[in-house]
A and B are shown apart, each in its own frame.
Chain A
């Protein structure tokens, strides 16, 4: 029985971005618009007065159901650089029986004249539920939902790659580690395939790769040495300790031996390859310190670019 898909919830009737929920489903033009706008904002952060008045008088609510100081801080900085008012709400995840429902929380904030909700939630799809229920002038930015998407991270990764490598059309990109649980990986994969990167690889043990992952448009490697060969970009994913408890991996040591990025393994990639990591890093688990701090690493610039990218996203959605 054919089912008509609802209208793409991220775009308004004019095809403009009104919410940023996922990189998947966004046309190439919108991704480029965000990257180009971020480029302009990069100049702002370098001068004396680091603010522009674009979002003056607007309120940005950081609604974080999952704790995160890093991401929340960068969103806060980005919003303030746009002259917006920022309110931080760390909502402890409530169990089913007690506490306000997600929609009740949003409705209450709505009553306080919010303009932008930046939402991080442990359940995939939560921002979509919120976006279905906010008022027309309210905008939702997904700061990470479950293992589904982290679009601003994906965008800053794309921005970083563009900054160092210029043209996506010639790149081989490898994403290494726990792809199964990674919203960062999913967002980056969608971004790279939309922008035309000809080869996107995922490298990891079978236990850490999702079912039918090749349907996302990637090549699967279980052997890291084979997977890293001639790569232009290597993206290392964070490995969480829980994976050992879930019978997905025996130990961090064995993981590091086969899937950790060392200088030796990096030598298999192109000589001018860049190394990225969404952070925070587990040194000695997924990445060796010598590589993390070495000349190929662009991990710190990623953080700086993150602010400009988030400024771009906020200023684009809030104006539509």
Chain B
């Protein structure tokens, strides 16, 4: 029986870990949708100078030929210069690594960062690319045919949930 960790417990632990590493050059970017929710909670806890950036990787996915353009791409808004920054790239679940690959490609079209560190709430393994998280909330084993998703309740409370894969 897989135990799903409590997102609300993982979050402050991640924040504490990150706060110790913040420098004047640090800036945060959250990946739509789950990563954006997570980043919106982490950002104020870290006392960063630059406002939060949000990114949608719709135009950089590697499965366009097969799947086409997914509905409702959100707009990528990065309200700071990427050049020379230490970027904290935030996403909810790390799985194959393809999302992060796309995010890095997109990020480099904005400019050349000094470094990128990946911040993940849950790592479910199953990597298909050589991608690793520098900051990780928890490792989670996901049964076959299931999917791990971050959900946000009406009151803003975050929770990790298993659901049947599409």
Contacts and interface: CB of A to CB of B under 8 A. Distances in A.
Contacts, number: 54
8 contacts: A40-B76, A47-B110, A49-B109, A49-B110, A52-B109, A53-B60, A316-B69, A319-B67
A180 interface: no
DSSP majority for the B interface?
A: loop
A16 B68 contact: yes
B74 interface: yes
The 4 closest A-B pairs by CB, nearest first: A319-B68, A49-B109, A52-B59, A40-B73
B59 A315 contact: yes
Interface of B: 56, 58-60, 64-65, 67-69, 71-78, 105-106, 109-111
A47 B67 contact: no
A316 B73 contact: no
A40 B58 contact: yes
Contacts of B76: 40, 43-44
Nearest to B108: A49
Interface in A30-53: 33, 36-37, 39-44, 47-49, 51-53
Contacts of A315: 59, 69
Interface residues of A, number: 22
A319 B111 CA distance: 27
B71 A33 contact: yes
Contacts of B74: 40
A47 B68 CA distance: 24
Given A40-B59, A315-B59, A51 B69 contact: no
Contact of A39 (B59, B75, B110): B75
Given A40-B73, A40-B75, A47-B78, 11 more contacts: A16-B68, A40-B56, A40-B58, A42-B75, A44-B76, A49-B109, A52-B59, A54-B59, A54-B64, A54-B69, A315-B69
Nearest to B66: A319
Given A16-B68, A33-B72, A319-B67, A52 B60 contact: yes
A320 interface: yes
Contacts of B68: 16, 316, 318-320
B105 A37 contact: no
Contact of A36 (B65, B72, B77): B72
Contacts of A16: 68
A34 B161 CA distance: 32
B82 to A, nearest CB: 9
Contacts of B73: 36-37, 40
B110 A319 contact: no
Contacts of B67: 319
Interface string A297-320: 000000000000000000110111
